[in-house]
């Protein structure tokens, strides 16, 4: 039905900037002296702590329990002592309670970890239970609790396709690429568990065509898998966005405000698949992840296996050997959908895909002042959701929330194509993101430098 390079409508082409780290193997970082576990590191309700200051904990122990169906368990990523519970900022500007654990350096595993289950006796219900119990969330950045995706649908067509997202279209970030190359069998096994959990008959591993080594390897390993195929997608941003990827692979259009399950599809990141395989086969919870540290200010850029709750500063120091230049800009995630942060005192969470540090000499750190819109229409041409970004941004600037809602502000996936393509350097996606924040709180919530009152 589709060409060998599946794609979608809209989007733009961005220089990948991946050569510096795409060929570097994953290196395990030593655990830092302190771990800072935010209780809100996933979409949904924050987890509730079940330990207190002074408690001793073991690696993999449940320390915060999901407070609702759309929430996720949190486990200790080191063994040691809970020093305190404090409030800390998240990269997106939110504030959450945070468990501070002093690492005892022993990595004593919790007795809660049970790997005695039989793979032969696995059921869909058992896999869904493990996804919930082990705190597995989408590790491509969204951090949506994975067990929610696989809950039996009350209505709708039922799930027939599970897509493993190996696109990784953000510039500078190469963690998923390395996972595909170094843990391909785990990716495939994770997909098989997803197929069992969902009842889907078809599994797809989608990879962008700028990763020919991964495409070749996964194609070879799935050659005899009758219900699994590798689909090569065109290198185009935001190919890895859920709705765009579903269209590219299946031709189906996910309606606005609907989940992929409404068209019979579930999408999961490659690292989520690996984590699921680990949970099923070893009983290990989600306590570490692979991320990329990149940028011209980093002494040793690379791909690192890092404990959840490590501070960015510890990652840069312990894994990367520090910085080699003055840091002018810090990004959590990629430059398109990530967040600029003011320091390295933030925690690595389950959805942290990368940490980028740029010097003043880097083009990525340049600031271009906003100019007047020239009505060129480029933002309309590249918008993968077929919106009018300038109309929405103007409504937000004027606090015309009704107009912003009428212009479908909620449909924006915040990919940043509009801002990237704007010759007037208008931060369109930032205005849209800000507008959503104010609309969700009746125009009064959150902090924004444009609105002091």
Residues 282-318: pLDDT tens digits?
A: 999 999 999 999 999 999 999 999 999 999 999 999 9
- ∠ CA(209), CA(210), CA(216), 5° rounding? 65
Residue 440's pLDDT band (cuts 50, 70, 90)? confident
Q: Which fold has domain 115-282?
A: Rossmann fold (3.40.50)
Cβ proximity of 157 and 265 under 8 Å: no
Backbone angles phi, psi at 367, to 5 degrees: -115, 125
Higher pLDDT, 36 or 92: 36
What is the spatial distance between Cα 44 and Cα 55, in angstroms, rounded to a whole number? 27
β-bridge pairing 26-28 and 302-307: parallel
Q: Is the pLDDT of residue 22 over 90?
A: yes
Query: How far apart are the C-alpha atoms of 49 and 303, rounded to whole Å?
Result: 31
Q: Rounded distance, CA 277 to CA 325, Å?
A: 40
Segment 351-361 shows an average pLDDT of 96
Banded model confidence at residue 171, pLDDT cuts 50, 70, 90: very high
**Mean of per-residue pLDDT scores for the chain:** 92
How many Å apart are CA 99 and CA 404, to the nearest integer?
38
Answer yes or no: is pLDDT of 260 > 90: yes
């011209």: which residue's tokens?
A: 296
Q: What is the pTM of this model?
A: 0.93
**pLDDT surpasses 60 at 12:** yes
Helices (H), 78-154: 124-133, 146-149
d(CA 283, CA 115): 5
Q: Domain ranges in the chain? A: 115-282, 378-440
């Amino acid at each position: 039905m589709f060409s060998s390079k599946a794609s979608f409508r809209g989007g733009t082409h961005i220089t990948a900037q991946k050569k510096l780290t795409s060929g570097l193997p994953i290196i395990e970082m030593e655990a830092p002296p302190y771990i800072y576990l935010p209780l809100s590191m996933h979409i949904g309700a924050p987890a509730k702590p079940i330990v207190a200051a002074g408690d001793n904990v073991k690696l993999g122990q449940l320390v915060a329990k999901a407070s609702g169906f759309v929430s996720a368990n949190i486990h200790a990523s080191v063994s040691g002592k809970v020093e305190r519970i404090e409030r800390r900022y998240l990269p997106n500007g939110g504030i959450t309670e945070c468990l501070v654990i002093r690492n005892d350096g022993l990595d004593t595993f919790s007795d809660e970890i049970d790997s005695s289950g039989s793979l032969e006796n696995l059921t869909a219900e058992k896999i869904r239970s493990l996804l919930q119990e082990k705190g597995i969330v989408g590790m491509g950045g969204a951090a949506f609790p994975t067990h929610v995706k696989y809950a039996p649908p009350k209505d709708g067509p039922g799930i027939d396709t599970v897509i493993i997202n190996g696109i990784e279209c953000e510039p500078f970030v190469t963690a998923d690429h390395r996972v595909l190359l170094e843990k391909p069998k785990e990716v495939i096994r994770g997909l098989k568990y997803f197929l069992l959990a969902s009842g889907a008959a078809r599994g797809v591993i989608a990879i962008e065509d700028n990763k020919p080594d991964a495409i070749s390897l996964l194609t070879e390993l799935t050659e005899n898998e009758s219900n699994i195929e590798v689909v090569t997608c065109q290198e185009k941003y935001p190919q890895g966005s859920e709705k765009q990827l579903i269209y590219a692979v299946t031709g189906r259009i996910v309606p606005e405000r609907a989940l992929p399950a409404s068209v019979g599809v579930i999408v999961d990141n490659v690292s989520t698949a690996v984590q699921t395989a680990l949970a099923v086969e070893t009983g290990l919870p989600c306590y570490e992840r692979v991320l990329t540290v990149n940028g011209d200010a980093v002494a040793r850029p690379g791909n690192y296996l890092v404990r959840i709750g490590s501070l960015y500063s510890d990652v840069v120091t312990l894994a990367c050997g520090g910085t080699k230049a003055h840091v002018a800009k810090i990004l959590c995630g990629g430059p398109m959908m990530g967040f600029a942060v003011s320091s390295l005192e933030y925690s690595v969470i389950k959805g942290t895909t990368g940490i980028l540090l740029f010097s003043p000499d880097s083009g990525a750190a340049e600031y271009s002042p906003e100019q007047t819109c020239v009505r060129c229409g480029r933002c309309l041409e590249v918008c993968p959701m077929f919106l009018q970004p300038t109309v929405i941004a103007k409504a937000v600037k004027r606090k015309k929330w009704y107009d912003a809602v009428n212009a479908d502000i909620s449909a924006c996936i915040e990919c940043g194509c509009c801002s990237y393509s704007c010759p007037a350097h208008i931060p369109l996606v930032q205005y849209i993101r800000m507008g959503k924040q104010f609309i969700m709180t009746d125009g009064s919530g959150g902090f924004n430098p444009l609105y002091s009152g």
